[in-house]
């Protein structure tokens, strides 16, 4: 249990650090949030589910779009991460953060900024797909390979 708590804390820190590192492109209706690649981690580690939730929560506090983004974003990510965990044996694991984020985040960005819904939904879905299939997928295959060799990855 302690191992899981510590690892979840570090995954959350990783998410926040990467978001902050690339902050000009991490927020808003047109965003490319590279840290979202970590949303596929629940495939291998269940503790990544709360970690992603916390990561998004704290990142969005720094992001400065306010409470709606903080709570909305983190809850959507929590649901997406949990679906990824449930679907961890098939392709749905990768699709859940792409589709859920794309369609739900844009829902509240639409209410928050009053921007056209389909525009936001499309822009977020594309950026999520780029990050998750471009980085998340190779990351998971890499980890699957190394998991048996390196004890700290178990």
Partner 1 sequence: MFKNITIGQYIARESTVHELDPRMKIIITLILIVGLFLIGSFWGFLFMAAYIMFLIYFSRLSLPLLVRGLKPVIFIILFTLFIHILFTRGGEVLLEWRFIRVEEGGLFTGLFMATRIALLILFTSLLTLTTSPIQLTDGLETLMSPLKVVKFPAHELAMMMTIALRFIPTLLEEAEKILKAQKARGADFESGNLLRRAQNLIPLLVPLFLSAFRRADDLAAALEARCYRGGVGRTRMKELVLKRSDWLALVISLLVVVGVILI
Binding site for partner 1 (CB under 8 A): 1-3, 5-14, 16-18, 20-21, 23-24, 27-29, 32, 34, 37, 50-51, 54-55, 57-58, 61-68, 70, 112-116, 130-131, 134-135, 138-139, 142, 150-153
Query: 42 with 52: CB under 8 angstroms?
Result: yes
Instruction: Copy the structure tokens of residue 39.
Output: 């949303």
Least distance (Å) between residue 84 CB and partner 1: 17
Instruction: Copy the structure tokens of residue 76.
Output: 């959507």
DSSP for 4-65 reads HHHHHHHHHHHHHHHHHHTGGGTSSSS---GGGGGGGGGGT-TTHHHHHHHHHHHHHHHHTS
Least distance (Å) between residue 39 CB and partner 1: 13
The sign one gets for the Cα dihedral 61, 62, 68, 71 is negative
Which residue's CB is nearer to partner 1, number 89 or number 149?
149
Which residue's CB is nearer to partner 1, number 7 or number 88?
7
DSSP type of residue 149: T
Least distance (Å) between residue 99 CB and partner 1: 19
Which residue's CB is nearer to partner 1, number 92 or number 146?
146
Which residue's CB is nearer to partner 1, number 113 or number 118?
113
């Amino acid at each position: 249990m302690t191992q899981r708590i510590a690892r979840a804390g570090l995954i959350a820190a990783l998410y926040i650090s990467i978001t902050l590192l690339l902050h000009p492109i991490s927020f808003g209706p047109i965003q490319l949030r590279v840290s979202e690649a970590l949303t596929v981690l629940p495939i291998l580690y269940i503790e990544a589910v709360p970690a992603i939730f916390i990561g998004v929560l704290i990142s969005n506090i720094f992001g400065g779009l306010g409470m709606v983004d903080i709570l909305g974003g983190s809850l959507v990510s929590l649901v997406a991460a949990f679906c990824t965990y449930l679907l961890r044996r098939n392709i749905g694991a990768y699709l859940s953060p792409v589709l859920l984020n794309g369609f739900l985040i844009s829902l509240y960005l639409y209410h928050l900024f009053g921007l056209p819904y389909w525009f936001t939904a499309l822009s977020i879905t594309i950026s999520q797909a780029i990050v998750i299939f471009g980085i998340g997928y190779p990351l998971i295959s890499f980890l699957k390979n190394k998991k048996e060799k390196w004890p700290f990855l178990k």
